[in-house]
Structure 1
Amino acid sequence: MLDIAEELHRWAEQGRDFAVATVVAVGGSAPRGPGAALAVDGKGTVIGSVSGGCVEGAVYELCRQALADGETVVERFGYSDEDAFAVGLTCGGVIDVMVTPVTPAAADAPWRAAFRAAVSTAARGGPVAVARVVRGPAGLLGRILTVRPEEAAGSGSEGSGGSGASYEGTLGGHAELDRTAAAEARAMLDSGRTGTVGLSQDGSHCPGGLTLLVESSVPPPRMIVFGAVDFAAALVRAGKFLGYRVTVCDARPVFATRARFPEADDIVVDWPHRYLRRTAVDGRTALCVLTHDAKFDVPLLKEALRRPVAFVGAMGSRRTHADRNRRLREAGVTERELARLRSPIGLDLGARTPEETALSIAAEIVATRRGGTGVPLTGSDVPIHRAERERGGAGALRLVR
C-alpha cells in the first residue's frame, strides 16, 4: 500500500471513495511482492499494480465490490491446470490479496486517522510502518496500526506503551496487542523491511491468533559516487533510476559541478575519505569509488571497508586492483575487510561505454542486494523470483489462509 502512498494521500485529501488491494502473501514465483498495491476510486480510476497483469482485472472487480458493500476481503489467486477459466498467475505462483474500502463516511474514525497518517507520512518521504490484520476474526480483518519513530510522531499519537514507537489506530483486540504490534512494527521499520508477524489477540506470540502484515516506508537508500569522472554521470542516472539518493563527491571543484551532474541529489567538494567520515551511511548505502587514484582510493577505501554499508566497489583494471590491495594491506586493512571490496566493480557485461559500465555496476549492486548470482537465466535452474534475504527489503511471507 505504501508504494502508492502519494496517490492515495491525494485521493484521501480530495475526499474520494476508493478501495485498496494489497498483496499480503506470496507463495512460489510471483511478479510482485508483499505490500504491492492497486487502488480503484468511485469513478473507476486505477493506480498501482498487484501483478504483472495476470489478475488485475479480477482485483479491479473486487475493489468495485468492496466499494459497493463496504467489506474487507482476502482473496487467493493461483494457477490451476485443471481449471482453464480460473483467474491466476501464469508464472505458477500464488498470491493472497486483501481488499479494503476507504470512504470518508466510514464509521471507524480511528481507522481513517491511522490510514491518513500512514499515507501522508509516506507521501512526504518520512519513515512509517503500517501493521494490518490480514488473518484473524472477520471483525478484525484489515484493522490498522500506523507506527512512526517516536521522535517523529509528535504529540498526536495514541500511545507508545514503552515500545520505542508511537502509534495511531488500533487492531481492535486486547490493549497489549497494540503495544506488542507497535514494537514489532518499529523493529521492522528500523531495518526497512516488510513482512508478517504472528500474534495472539492478547499480544503474545502464541500461534493460531492473528497474522499482521507490516509494511515499512523509509527514505531512499544512499548511493555515494566518489570521483567526478565521465563514468560517474552515467552511474548517477542509473542510481536515480534504481531509487537511490545519489551524492557525487570529488576533491576537485573544477570537476564536481552541477553542470556536469545535473541529476545528482548532492554534489560535495571535499576529500572523499574526509567526507565519508562525516556523512551518515547505513546498511543500505552503496559506495562506488571511480577515482582509481591511490592518493584518493587508499584512505577512502580504508574508511569505507570499516563502515556498516551494503556495498563497497572500486573501479580499475586488474593491475590497479592488485596494486590497490597491496597498498590497503600496508595501510592496515585486514583480509576480512578486504573481502568486502567489490573490485574491479561491476558484472562482466563486456561494457565499453560509460552507460554500459554504469549498467554493469548497477547490476552488481542489485545482485548483491538481492542475493542474485549474475548468471544468465537462460539454461539456468536458478529461481527467477526469490524470497529476499532477512537483511532488507520485503521478507518472504507465509500464505495467510
Structure 2
Amino acid sequence: MREILPALGEWYAAGSPFALATVVAVSRSAPRDPGAAMAVGPGDEVVGSVSGGCVEGAVFELAQEVLASGEARSATFGYGDDDAFAVGLTCGGEITLLVRRVTAAEDPSFGRVVETVGAGQPVTVATVTDGPGRRGATLAVWPDEAGGTFGTLGTAGLDAAVAADARGELAQGVTATRHYGPHGERREDAVAVFLHSFAPPPRMLVFGAIDYAAAVARIGDFLGYRVTVCDARPVFATPQRFPAGVEVVVDWPHRYLRGTATDDRTVVCVLTHDPKFDVPLLEEALRRPAAYIGAMGSRRTHEDRTRRLREAGLGTAELSRLRSPVGLDLGARTPEEVAVSVAAEIVALRWGGSGMPLTATTGLIHPPAPPG
C-alpha cells in the first residue's frame, strides 16, 4: 500500500471518500502479498493493485458497492472457484480482501498514518476483518507509548492487546492476521485483526560513485529502498550525478559504514573494485547484519580480495555471505543491464528464488513469503 498512500492522502485531505481494498490473506501461488492494496476514489479513479490484474475488475465493482453503502466487505478469490475463473484469477492461488470506505469521520487516524509513512517513520494499522467486532474498524499504533494509538477496535481490552502485538510485529516488519477474544484474550475463534506494519524502507548502501552506481541507485530506489551512495572522491560523489532522492555522501567507505546502522534488510553494494577501498569496507560489512553484500569485479579481483580478507581475519562463514562477482549471469554489459542483474540477485535472495528461467522450473510461481 505504501506506493499509493500519497494519492490516498490527497483524496483524504480533500474530503473525498474512497474505497480501500487490502489483501489480508493469501495462499499457494498468490500474485501479491498481504498488505497489497487498491483504491477507488473520486471520478472512479483507481490506484494500486491487489492481484497484478487478475481480479481488479471484480474488486472495482465491490469497491463501488462499499462506497455506496459504507459497509465493509470481505471477499475471497481462489483458483478453484467459478467466480475466480470468471474474473481471471488463473495464477493458481487464493487471496482474501477487505474492502472498506475511508473518510475523515470513519477513519480519523488515516491522515496521521499517511504523514508518518511519508516521513519514513514506523506505524501499524490494525483492522478488524472478521468475527463479532465491527468489520473495518481500525486502530493505528505507533511504536512507543509517546506515539500512542489512534482509533478503536471496539473495547479497551482488545485495543490494549492489539497495540502490544502490533508494536512487537512492527519491530520485525511483520504484516499478519492475529485472533482475539472481544476483550483481548488470545483466541482463534473470535475477532480476526489484520496488522499491517509500515516499517521504514530498507536501506541500500552503494559504495563507489561510478556510472554503474547511478544505475544501481536508480533501480534500488524503484524497488523501494532508501538509497545512499558513498565515495571518498568528492569530484565523483556529487548529487547531480545521481537520481533525485538518493543521498550522496563524501567519506571513506569503511569509515561511513562503521558509523551507519544496518539490519537484516540492508543491502550493501560495493562497486569501487579498488583494494584500498574494498578490503576495509568488506571487512566491516561482513561482520555486521545485512540481507545482501555484493562486490563488483573480475574473478581474479574476487580471488585477490578474498585472500586479503582472509589475511584480515575473516573466516569461511563470513566470506560465504559475499556475493562476488556481483549479480546474476544475464550477460549484462551496460550499467543499466548490470543494475538489473544486481537487482535480480537481490530479489532472488530475498524471496528464495533460484534465478532460473521459469520455463525451466516447476511448482509455484509465487511461493509464500518466508516467515517474518
TM range (shorter): over 0.9
Match of 2:234 in 1: 253
Asked whether the equivalents of residues 145 and 178 of structure 1 are also in contact (C-alpha less than 8 Å), the reply is yes
* 1:96-127 deviation per Cα after TM superposition (whole angstroms, max 9, x unaligned): 111112244x5xxxx52233332332244332
- Mapped partners of 1:3, 1:97: distance in 2: 18
- Mapped partners of 2:49, 2:202: distance in 1: 23
Tell me which stretches of 4 or more aligned residues in structure 1 moved more than 3 Å.
Answer: 79-88
Give the CA deviation at 1:14. Answer: 0.7
Alignment of 1:117-132 (within 5 A): 117-132=112-127
- Mapped partners of 2:288, 2:260: distance in 1: 11
Give the CA deviation at 1:379. Answer: 2.5
Match of 1:70 in 2: 70
Q: Classify the secondary structure of the residue corresponding to 2:204.
A: strand
Alignment of 1:74-113 (within 5 A): 74-80=74-80, 86-104=86-104, 106=105, 112-113=107-108
- Structure 2: segments with no counterpart, 5+ residues: none
Q: Classify the secondary structure of the residue corresponding to 1:120.
A: helix
Residues 83/285 of structure 1: CA separation in 2 closer, same or farther (3 Å cut)? closer
Asked whether the equivalents of residues 27 and 368 of structure 2 are also in contact (C-alpha less than 8 Å), the reply is no
Give the CA deviation at 1:305. Answer: 0.7
Residues 119/231 of structure 1: CA separation in 2 closer, same or farther (3 Å cut)? closer
- Mapped partners of 1:281, 1:260: distance in 2: 25
Q: Classify the secondary structure of the residue corresponding to 2:359.
A: coil
* 1:354-391 deviation per Cα after TM superposition (whole angstroms, max 9, x unaligned): 22111111111111112211111112114211111124
Letter in 2 for 1:171: L
Match of 2:174 in 1: 193
Alignment of 1:263-274 (within 5 A): 263=244, 265-274=246-255
Q: Classify the secondary structure of the residue corresponding to 2:303.
A: helix
Match of 1:32 in 2: 32
Matched, 1:150 2:144: yes
Asked whether the equivalents of residues 3 and 37 of structure 1 are also in contact (C-alpha less than 8 Å), the reply is no
Correspondent of 1:115 among 104, 110, 119: 110
Matched, 1:141 2:108: no
Give the CA deviation at 1:289. Answer: 0.7
Letter in 2 for 1:57: G
Q: CA RMSD in A?
A: 2.1
Give the CA deviation at 1:344. Answer: 1.2
Asked whether the equivalents of residues 30 and 94 of structure 1 are also in contact (C-alpha less than 8 Å), the reply is yes
Residues 251/28 of structure 1: CA separation in 2 closer, same or farther (3 Å cut)? same
Residues 197/372 of structure 1: CA separation in 2 closer, same or farther (3 Å cut)? same
Give the CA deviation at 1:299. Answer: 0.9
Q: Classify the secondary structure of the residue corresponding to 1:150.
A: coil
Alignment of 1:2-401 (within 5 A): 2-80=2-80, 86-104=86-104, 106=105, 112-137=107-132, 139-150=133-144, 153=147, 166-173=148-155, 175-263=156-244, 265-391=246-372
Asked whether the equivalents of residues 223 and 285 of structure 1 are also in contact (C-alpha less than 8 Å), the reply is yes
Q: Which has the higher contact order (CA 8 A, sep 6+)?
A: 1
- Mapped partners of 2:12, 2:233: distance in 1: 48
Q: Classify the secondary structure of the residue corresponding to 1:361.
A: helix
Letter in 1 for 2:74: V
Q: Classify the secondary structure of the residue corresponding to 1:234.
A: helix
Residues 250/199 of structure 1: CA separation in 2 closer, same or farther (3 Å cut)? same
Q: Classify the secondary structure of the residue corresponding to 2:269.
A: strand
* 1:132-186 deviation per Cα after TM superposition (whole angstroms, max 9, x unaligned): 111212x421111101122762xxxxxxxxxxxx21111113x222112111111
Asked whether the equivalents of residues 28 and 364 of structure 2 are also in contact (C-alpha less than 8 Å), the reply is no
Give the CA deviation at 1:83. Answer: 6.6
Residues 85/227 of structure 1: CA separation in 2 closer, same or farther (3 Å cut)? closer
Residues 335/85 of structure 1: CA separation in 2 closer, same or farther (3 Å cut)? closer
Asked whether the equivalents of residues 20 and 101 of structure 2 are also in contact (C-alpha less than 8 Å), the reply is yes
Residues 270/12 of structure 1: CA separation in 2 closer, same or farther (3 Å cut)? same
Output the TM-score relative to the length of structure 2: 0.93
Asked whether the equivalents of residues 5 and 114 of structure 2 are also in contact (C-alpha less than 8 Å), the reply is yes
Asked whether the equivalents of residues 115 and 144 of structure 1 are also in contact (C-alpha less than 8 Å), the reply is no
Asked whether the equivalents of residues 29 and 368 of structure 2 are also in contact (C-alpha less than 8 Å), the reply is no
- Mapped partners of 1:326, 1:11: distance in 2: 57
Asked whether the equivalents of residues 77 and 84 of structure 2 are also in contact (C-alpha less than 8 Å), the reply is no
Letter in 1 for 2:338: T
Q: Classify the secondary structure of the residue corresponding to 1:149.
A: coil
Letter in 1 for 2:137: R
Match of 1:163 in 2: none
Letter in 2 for 1:63: A
- Mapped partners of 1:26, 1:303: distance in 2: 39
